[in-house]
Amino acid sequence: MSKGIAIVLACLPVAGLAGCSGGLGGPSALSRGEYTIWLMGTTGGQHIANSKELLESVRSHTGWKDVFLVHGDNHSDIYRGQYHSPTAAEGDLETARNFVAQATGMKPFQRARVVALVPKDVGPPEWNIQTSKGYYTVLVADYYDVPKADYVGRQKFAVERCKELREQGYEAYYHHDPAHSYVMVGSFPKEAVRVIVDQARQRGNDPFRPTVFASQPMIQVLDPKMADIVAKVPFSVNGYKSVIRARDAQGREIKQDEPPRVVPVPGRKDAPPTAGGQR
């Protein structure tokens, strides 16, 4: 394989990027409302143990008794409450977004949002990423509902993006979890990438202990088809290109389009570990 197409990029962990299974007080235990508030997620090999500790930290710092955990295959998410409509959750949503941690002065739940408690899959079954055979895929789009902005229908929007990409000749898939709908392109074997285990460090997920760091591996893309997808398909959030801050060769801060992310296929048995960091 040509070394010219081998590119090194971050395989970023995406909270919520896996099929949802019941955790501590998971969906199977929730029946009084159709909506809940997503507060935060944690990923990595120790996500279950870390999330349990994080849950107790959230409870002790906020005093909220209605927070609960849901565990996925490589992530855990913390939610608050059960509501019969997004409107009914607005008060608690604003409280969560404006909560300030006394120890740090940070607002750890600024990204909180109302989500469907048990969303129904939308889209052709054969486009579901679970039907693919590979271990890695390329994440190219992330959709989530923003009820306050009248932006609701993330599952439908993700499937529409899949249709667009398939019409362009790409092998596109969707994946719906409790908070997000993702669009992914391609299905690749483990040999499509080389995992660089001893690279990069990422800030820990606990907002109440922001100095905690966790080591995560990086990857090198070896498959030319995967490299072509990374180079040509832009990453988007809710239909818009995502822009990130970076530095040029002279060290000056610049803005550039966020690249797609190489991730393990969610829910795949014997899947490789999620990698992260920036080289």
CATH 3.30.70 in the chain, residue ranges: 21-116
Residues in the chain: 279
The mean of the pLDDT values for the chain is: 77
**Ranges in the chain, pLDDT < 70:** 1-33, 72-74, 118-121, 147-148, 150, 197-217, 269-279
Q: Which residues contact 189 (CB under 8 A, 6 or more apart)?
A: 134, 135, 136
Strand 253-257 vs strand 243-247: parallel, antiparallel, or unpaired? antiparallel
| Residue 152 exposed, middle or buried by CB count within 10 Å (0-12, 13-18, 19+) | middle
pLDDT of residue 51: 86
Rounded to two decimals, what is the model's pTM? 0.58
| Under 8 Å between Cβ of 40 and 79 | no
Between CA 226 and CA 187 the distance in angstroms is 9
For 96-131, how does the pLDDT look when each residue is reduced to its tens digit (9 = 90+)? 999 998 888 889 999 999 887 765 667 899 999 999
| Residue 101 exposed, middle or buried by CB count within 10 Å (0-12, 13-18, 19+) | middle
pLDDT of residue 2: 36
For 206-225, how does the pLDDT look when each residue is reduced to its tens digit (9 = 90+)? 544 444 444 456 788 999 99
- Over its C-alpha atoms, the chain yields an Rg (Å, rounded) of 19
**First and final CA of the chain: distance in angstroms?**
22
* CATH T-level topology, domain 21-116: Alpha-Beta Plaits (3.30.70)
Q: Where are the beta strands (DSSP E) in 84-212?
A: 113-116, 136-143, 172-176, 181-188, 193-196, 201-203
pLDDT of residue 150: 67
pLDDT of residue 37: 92
